[in-house]
């Protein structure tokens, strides 16, 4: 009698734990909306337009997950977070997913108990200097004044870089990117350093971008990617494979334009498996069979999203660089859909 | 001495007509000589000042009047200007609604906050200008509930229940308070809470779905509207709380005195931004995700608590400035504590405290921009976040922040002018 009670209690506890683990996707479905944490505003990555519609490279990640789970890329409640509130928002359950140019680091992954599902942008810290300074390498910057955002990893990377190269610098601490732009343009510092994507975006807004150069050195690794809470692996899988679907689609030449046609069946079995015409990958994730088709028709593949938001034809004008597919010399690579 | 006019050739019998004073002693010339060019040092300073004003205006005026208002992006502005000096004010016209209402308030519902703002003037008038008929105060009492309904929309039953709770609390306080103040106070609070709990339980869940006014969640509020809402709510709540705290700090009852002292000293010792972080970040750990207190409410509580502590100290200064004779006079007239405070002490103490209170109010209103650091999109949050991060407007600073400064200046200058009027109006001491 006592034993059965203990067993029963264990079963209930096990079921409860199982329910708690599987909860996120069910919560999202029950709510009919994905709560997605984004930046309060970062050029090209996340910003609302004049009509209040969010757009940007990170925002597309949210829309892709919403399309996969709910079949509607607009069923997203965007929760703007600052650098200071982002982790609490995710840990407390206010958001289901954080897609906010967050660097994947050991302590964030392990200590803060988050799961980074992948990398959607490989960034790195760079330097921008006025062209008239005639500097061609960051190693020539001995004695320079450097504008740097306080309290970020860039500050530590900078100190490391100058120490390793045995040169000195004078930091000019600033709070926000906007302030940095003004200080740099006003000549308060010789060099501005932040993530290379940020430098490119900043330079693009200058009145005369040609008068400023971004130096070739990249002094840190900043892999940015979406993240979820520990403890719900099923939800982590959904987000991870949504990102993988975007990348694989580019690799296989599936675009938002031809995805409808291809979902009728092709002679490439991997495309068929991904788009749900063969196998049961969607079912294994707990989603509809055509989940990936919805994702790609809603936001396009990785390359399309990149070109639309931050690519060379946009004012930000980032080259693919490290973020090219592995087949084209970049780092963007996914496990196969099998 | 006798006067003999017979051997004098000419005697003027009428007075000469008045002559105009010398040109240098009249009109603008005199004013200029006395005020601007009295002595060489003065003249030198005047010339320097004119030069400085010229330098400033010659750079600002072309920028202001040569600005563009209709382009669709900063790069387009630059193309049209071709290096000419001029502001890119198009950002203000394109993002006008976002600056005023935030980017999520439904576009077709802007009339609601507008109406609430217009009604605010009517509601505030009888409080600010006490020559107006006292009956208008009834509308002032109804206004918070009306404004809540206008801005947030949803089921009209919610503000009605809130109003009924307040009325029930007041009635109980009025009845019981005649015997003992404490009985009335706690009885009133209990009655109000009872009505609220019962009333909220009676409102059906679906009431907000097909309500007369579309429901708008707090997260969708933003822009200057949010600053005004926070400012007005927190100032009007923190005044009574601040008075209560100031009186409590002077109380003879140790428990009340120490609660007030600890509260005031603790809140004054903590920066506002810390309190805001607690409101937005820490509290979400304590509540389950589905049942958190509304973020707007949390922020209002924190800002109110903060400014109430400051106002309490300002009013304590006013209380301390009153001669002891005033208290003794009240006692000798046989007035009890509430009467003495209401009729003799507070009217004088508050009058002394007006400049300090206005100082806190102006500071508080400007401090509402701090909510931008906890990802609420007030005016500054809108500028720093979404607008500067859009690909069209990244790089526009002076126009946006100048606009924000202008809006805040208008409101704060208005408050300060009102307080000066109030001081003149209350000047009864013929000093």
Contact A43 B394 (CB under 8 A): yes
Mean per-residue pLDDT, B22-26: 79
ipTM passes above 0.85:
no
- Minimum Cα–Cα distance from B401: chain A residue: A178
Q: Are residues A299 and A253 in the same domain?
A: yes
User: Of A220, A237, A256, which marks where a domain is finished?
Assistant: A220
Average of per-residue pLDDT values in chain B: 87
Would you call A59 an interface residue with chain B, using a CB distance cutoff of 8 Å?
A: no
* CATH code, A165: 3.40.190.10
Note whether residue A74 is domain-resident.
Answer: yes
**Using one digit for the tens of pLDDT, what is the confidence trace for B281-298?**
777 677 666 666 788 888
Q: How confident is the model at residue B207 (pLDDT cuts 50, 70, 90)?
A: low
Q: Measure Cα distances from A281 to A23, A25, A245, B90, B116 in Å.
A: 20, 16, 12, 50, 54
Contact A88 B285 (CB under 8 A): yes
Q: Give the residue numbers spanning the domain of B27.
A: 23-65
Q: Are residues B351 and B414 in the same domain?
A: yes
Contact A41 B390 (CB under 8 A): yes
The reported pLDDT for the residue numbered B338 is 83
Contact A82 B277 (CB under 8 A): no
Mean per-residue pLDDT, A204-221: 86
The reported pLDDT for the residue numbered A302 is 95
The answer to whether B264 and B313 have CB atoms below 8 angstroms apart is yes
Task: Give B 58-97 residues with CB within 8 A of chain A.
Answer: 74-75, 78, 94-95
Q: Are residues A107 and A194 in the same domain?
A: no
B130 versus B230: the higher-pLDDT residue is B230
Note whether residue B126 is domain-resident.
Answer: no
What are the helix and strand counts (H, E) for chain A? 14, 14
Nearest chain A CA: its distance from B81 CA (Å): 11
Nearest chain B CA: its distance from A42 CA (Å): 5
Would you call A152 an interface residue with chain B, using a CB distance cutoff of 8 Å?
A: no
Nearest to B391 among A51, A207, A315 (CB): A315
The reported pLDDT for the residue numbered A247 is 95
Would you call B143 an interface residue with chain A, using a CB distance cutoff of 8 Å?
A: no
Q: Are residues B389 and B267 in the same domain?
A: yes
Would you call B103 an interface residue with chain A, using a CB distance cutoff of 8 Å?
A: yes
User: Of B188, B212, B236, which marks where a domain is finished?
Assistant: B212
Contact B388 A315 (CB under 8 A): no
Nearest chain A CA: its distance from B277 CA (Å): 9
User: Of B195, B212, B229, which marks where a domain is finished?
Assistant: B212
- DSSP secondary structure string, B328-377? HHHHHTT--HHHHIIIIIHHHHHHHHHHHHHHHHHHHHHHGGGGGGGT--
Q: Are residues B254 and B369 in the same domain?
A: yes
Nearest to A94 among B289, B388, B390 (CB): B289
Contact B377 A40 (CB under 8 A): yes
Note whether residue B266 is domain-resident.
Answer: yes
Q: Which chain A residues are closer than 8 Å to B385 by Cβ?
A: 40-41, 47, 80
Note whether residue A335 is domain-resident.
Answer: no
Note whether residue A16 is domain-resident.
Answer: no
- Comparing A11-15, B332-336, B340-344, which segment has the lowest mean pLDDT? A11-15
Q: Are residues B203 and B226 in the same domain?
A: no
Would you call A183 an interface residue with chain B, using a CB distance cutoff of 8 Å?
A: no
The reported pLDDT for the residue numbered A6 is 42
Q: Which chain A residues are closer than 8 Å to B387 by Cβ?
A: 41
* CATH code, B240: 1.10.3720.10
User: Of A153, A188, A220, which marks where a domain is finished?
Assistant: A220
The three-class DSSP label of residue B81 is helix
Kindly state the tokens that stand for A161: 């870089």
Q: Which chain B residues are closer than 8 Å to A51 by Cβ?
A: 107
Q: What percentage of chain A has pLDDT greater than the value 90?
A: 49
Angle between helix B181-202 and helix B157-176 axes, rounded to 10 deg? 160
Contact A81 B373 (CB under 8 A): no
Q: Are residues B230 and B205 in the same domain?
A: no
The reported pLDDT for the residue numbered B249 is 92
For strand A47-48 and strand A54-55, is the pairing parallel, antiparallel, or unpaired? antiparallel
Mean per-residue pLDDT, B351-373: 90
The reported pLDDT for the residue numbered A9 is 44
**Using one digit for the tens of pLDDT, what is the confidence trace for B304-325?**
999 999 999 999 999 999 999 9
Would you call A49 an interface residue with chain B, using a CB distance cutoff of 8 Å?
A: yes
The reported pLDDT for the residue numbered B6 is 66
Q: Are residues A63 and A109 in the same domain?
A: yes
Task: Give B 388-417 residues with CB within 8 A of chain A.
Answer: 388-391, 394-395, 397
Would you call B378 an interface residue with chain A, using a CB distance cutoff of 8 Å?
A: no
Q: Are residues A207 and A244 in the same domain?
A: no
The answer to whether A52 and A41 have CB atoms below 8 angstroms apart is no
Continuous segment of H or E residues that includes residue B145: helix B137-152
Contact A205 B74 (CB under 8 A): yes
Q: Give the residue numbers spanning the domain of A210.
A: 125-220
The reported pLDDT for the residue numbered A321 is 86
The reported pLDDT for the residue numbered A11 is 42
Contact A44 B391 (CB under 8 A): yes
Mean per-residue pLDDT, A255-265: 90
Buried b / exposed e across B372-399, counting CB within 10 Å, b at 16+? bbbbbbbbbbbbbbbbbbbbbbbbbeeb
Q: Which chain B residues are closer than 8 Å to A88 by Cβ?
A: 281, 284-285
CA A223 – CA A228 distance, rounded (Å): 16
Q: How many pairs of residues across A and B have Cβ atoms under 8 Å apart?
A: 86
Note whether residue B258 is domain-resident.
Answer: yes
A329 versus B294: the higher-pLDDT residue is A329
Kindly state the tokens that stand for B106: 């439904």
CA B78 – CA A98 distance, rounded (Å): 36
**Using one digit for the tens of pLDDT, what is the confidence trace for B106-125?**
888 899 999 999 999 999 88
Nearest to B389 among A41, A79, A85 (CB): A41
Contact B377 A44 (CB under 8 A): no
Nearest to A315 among B75, B374, B389 (CB): B75
- Minimum Cα–Cα distance from B92: chain A residue: A50
CA B153 – CA B146 distance, rounded (Å): 10
**Using one digit for the tens of pLDDT, what is the confidence trace for A90-123?**
988 889 999 988 889 898 999 999 999 999 999 9
Contact B391 A88 (CB under 8 A): no
Q: Are residues B328 and B241 in the same domain?
A: yes
Would you call B33 an interface residue with chain A, using a CB distance cutoff of 8 Å?
A: no
Nearest to A52 among B104, B281, B388 (CB): B104
Closest residue by Cα to residue B257 from B247, B267, B266: B247
Q: Which residues contact A125 (CB under 8 A, 6 or more apart)?
A: A154, A157, A158, A193, A194, A195, A196, A218, A219, A220, A222
Note whether residue B272 is domain-resident.
Answer: yes
Kindly state the tokens that stand for A241: 């494979």
Domain count, chain B: 3
Mean per-residue pLDDT, B391-411: 90
The reported pLDDT for the residue numbered A1 is 38
Sign of the CA dihedral with B50 first, then B52, B57, and B59 last: positive
Q: Are residues B178 and B262 in the same domain?
A: no
User: Of B65, B89, B122, which marks where a domain is finished?
Assistant: B65
Q: Are residues B309 and B367 in the same domain?
A: yes
Q: What percentage of chain B has pLDDT greater than the value 90?
A: 35
Nearest to B281 among A48, A88, A316 (CB): A88
Kindly state the tokens that stand for B246: 């100031």
Q: Which residues contact A73 (CB under 8 A, 6 or more apart)?
A: A63, A64, A66, A67, A294, A298, A299
Q: Are residues B322 and B231 in the same domain?
A: yes
Give yes or no for residue A231 having a pLDDT over 70.
yes
For strand A191-195 and strand A125-130, is the pairing parallel, antiparallel, or unpaired? antiparallel
Would you call A74 an interface residue with chain B, using a CB distance cutoff of 8 Å?
A: no
- Minimum Cα–Cα distance from B72: chain A residue: A50
Would you call B109 an interface residue with chain A, using a CB distance cutoff of 8 Å?
A: no
Closest residue by Cα to residue B226 from B389, B387, B100: B100
The reported pLDDT for the residue numbered B428 is 64
Note whether residue A35 is domain-resident.
Answer: yes
Give yes or no for residue A22 having a pLDDT over 60.
no
User: Of A181, A197, A220, which marks where a domain is finished?
Assistant: A220
Q: Are residues B194 and B238 in the same domain?
A: no
- Minimum Cα–Cα distance from A309: chain B residue: B391
The reported pLDDT for the residue numbered B368 is 92
CA B211 – CA B154 distance, rounded (Å): 5
Note whether residue B375 is domain-resident.
Answer: yes
CA B248 – CA B316 distance, rounded (Å): 10
Give yes or no for residue A55 having a pLDDT over 70.
yes
Note whether residue A4 is domain-resident.
Answer: no
Q: Which chain A residues are closer than 8 Å to B74 by Cβ?
A: 205
Q: Measure Cα distances from A308 to A53, A316, A325, B386 in Å.
A: 15, 11, 17, 18
Mean per-residue pLDDT, B245-266: 92
Give yes or no for residue A84 having a pLDDT over 80.
no
Contact A314 B391 (CB under 8 A): yes
Nearest chain B CA: its distance from A44 CA (Å): 7
Q: Are residues B201 and B233 in the same domain?
A: no
Nearest to A47 among B280, B288, B386 (CB): B386
Domain count, chain A: 2
CA A95 – CA B313 distance, rounded (Å): 41
Kindly state the tokens that stand for A107: 């302590």
**Using one digit for the tens of pLDDT, what is the confidence trace for B168-190?**
888 888 888 777 777 788 888 88
**Using one digit for the tens of pLDDT, what is the confidence trace for B233-244?**
999 999 999 999
Q: Which chain B residues are closer than 8 Å to A176 by Cβ?
A: 384
Continuous segment of H or E residues that includes residue B247: helix B223-249
Best mutation site among B385, B392, B393, B396 for testing chain A: the one with the most A CBs within 10 Å?
B385
Q: Which chain A residues are closer than 8 Å to B377 by Cβ?
A: 40, 80
The three-class DSSP label of residue B395 is coil
Would you call A136 an interface residue with chain B, using a CB distance cutoff of 8 Å?
A: no
Kindly state the tokens that stand for B217: 């969640």
Q: Are residues B206 and B272 in the same domain?
A: no
Would you call B173 an interface residue with chain A, using a CB distance cutoff of 8 Å?
A: no
**Using one digit for the tens of pLDDT, what is the confidence trace for A135-187?**
888 888 888 999 988 767 788 889 999 999 999 999 998 877 777 888 898 88
Note whether residue A30 is domain-resident.
Answer: yes
The reported pLDDT for the residue numbered A7 is 42
Average of per-residue pLDDT values in chain A: 86
CA A98 – CA B176 distance, rounded (Å): 54
Contact A52 B103 (CB under 8 A): yes
Nearest chain A CA: its distance from B331 CA (Å): 54
Bridge partner residues of A135 (DSSP): none
The reported pLDDT for the residue numbered A49 is 86
Nearest chain B CA: its distance from A141 CA (Å): 26
Give yes or no for residue A27 having a pLDDT over 70.
yes
């Amino acid at each position: 009698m006592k034993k059965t009670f203990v067993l029963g209690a264990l079963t209930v506890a096990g079921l409860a734990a199982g329910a708690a683990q599987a909860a996120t996707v069910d919560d999202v479905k029950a709510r009919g909306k994905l709560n997605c944490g984004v930046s309060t505003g970062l050029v090209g990555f996340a910003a609302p337009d004049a009509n209040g519609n969010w757009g940007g490279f990170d925002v597309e990640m949210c829309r892709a997950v919403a399309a996969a789970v709910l079949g509607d890329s607009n069923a997203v409640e965007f929760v703007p977070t600052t650098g200071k509130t982002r982790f609490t928002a995710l840990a407390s359950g206010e958001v289901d997913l954080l897609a906010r140019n967050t660097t994947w680091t050991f302590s964030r992954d392990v200590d803060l108990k988050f799961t980074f599902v992948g990398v959607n942008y490989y960034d790195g810290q760079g330097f921008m200097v006025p062209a008239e300074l005639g500097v061609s390498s960051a190693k020539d910057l001995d004695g320079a004044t450097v504008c740097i955002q306080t309290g970020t990893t860039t500050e530590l990377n900078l100190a490391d870089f100058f120490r390793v190269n045995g040169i000195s610098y004078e930091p000019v601490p600033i709070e926000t990117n906007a302030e940095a732009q003004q200080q740099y343009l006003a000549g308060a510092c010789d060099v501005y350093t932040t993530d290379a994507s940020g430098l490119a975006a900043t330079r693009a807004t200058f009145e005369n971008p040609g008068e400023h150069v971004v130096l070739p050195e990249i002094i840190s690794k900043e892999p940015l990617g979406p993240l979820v809470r520990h403890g719900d692996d099923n939800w982590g899988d959904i987000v991870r494979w949504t990102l993988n679907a975007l990348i694989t689609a580019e690799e296989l030449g599936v675009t938002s334009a031809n995805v409808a046609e291809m979902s009728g069946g092709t002679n490439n079995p991997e495309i068929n498996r991904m788009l749900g015409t063969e196998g049961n990958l969607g079912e294994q994730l707990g989603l509809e069979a055509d989940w990936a088709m919805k994702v790609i028709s809603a936001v396009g593949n990785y390359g399309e999203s990149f070109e639309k938001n931050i690519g060379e034809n946009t004012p930000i004008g980032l080259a693919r660089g490290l973020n090219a597919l592995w087949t084209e010399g970049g780092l963007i690579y996914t496990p196969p859909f099998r | 001495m006798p006067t003999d006019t017979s051997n004098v050739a000419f005697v003027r019998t009428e007075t000469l007509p008045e002559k105009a004073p010398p040109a240098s002693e009249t009109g603008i010339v005199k004013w200029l000589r006395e005020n601007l060019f009295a002595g060489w040092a003065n003249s030198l300073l005047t010339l320097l000042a004119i030069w400085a004003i010229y330098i400033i205006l010659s750079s600002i005026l072309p920028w202001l009047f040569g600005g563009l208002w209709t382009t669709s992006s900063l790069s387009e502005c630059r193309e049209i200007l071709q290096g000419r000096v001029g502001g890119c004010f198009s950002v203000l016209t394109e993002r006008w609604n976002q600056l005023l209402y935030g980017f999520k308030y439904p576009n077709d519902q802007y009339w609601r906050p507008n109406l609430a703002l217009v009604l605010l003037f009517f509601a505030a008038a009888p409080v600010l200008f006490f020559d107006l008929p006292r009956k208008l105060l009834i509308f002032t009492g109804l206004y918070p509930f009306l404004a809540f309904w206008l801005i947030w929309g949803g089921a009209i039953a919610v503000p009605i229940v809130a109003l009924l709770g307040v009325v029930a609390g007041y009635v109980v306080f009025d009845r019981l308070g005649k015997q003992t103040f404490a009985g009335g106070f706690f009885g009133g609070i209990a009655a109000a809470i009872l009505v609220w709990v019962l009333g909220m339980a009676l409102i059906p869940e679906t009431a907000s779905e097909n309500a007369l006014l579309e429901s708008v969640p707090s997260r969708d509020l933003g822009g200057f509207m949010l600053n005004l809402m926070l400012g007005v709510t927190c100032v009007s709540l923190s005044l009574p709380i601040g008075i209560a705290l100031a009186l409590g700090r002077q109380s003879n009852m140790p428990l009340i005195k120490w609660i007030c002292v600890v509260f005031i000293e603790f809140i004054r010792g903590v920066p506002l931004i810390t309190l805001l972080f607690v409101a937005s970040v820490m509290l979400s750990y304590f509540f389950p995700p589905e049942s958190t207190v509304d973020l707007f409410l949390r922020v209002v509580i924190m800002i109110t608590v903060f400014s109430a502590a400051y106002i309490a100290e300002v009013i304590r200064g006013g209380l301390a400035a009153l001669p002891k004779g005033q208290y003794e006079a009240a006692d000798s007239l046989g007035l009890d504590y509430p009467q003495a405070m209401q009729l003799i002490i507070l009217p004088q103490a508050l009058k002394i405290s007006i400049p300090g209170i206005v100082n806190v109010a102006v500071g508080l209103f400007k401090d509402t921009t701090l909510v931008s650091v906890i990802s609420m999109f007030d005016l500054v949050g809108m500028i720093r976040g979404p607008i500067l991060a859009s690909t069209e407007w990244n790089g526009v600073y002076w126009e946006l922040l100048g606009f924000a400064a202008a809006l805040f200046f208008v409101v704060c200058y208005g408050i300060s002018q009102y307080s000066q009027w109030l001081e003149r109006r209350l000047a009864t001491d013929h000093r």
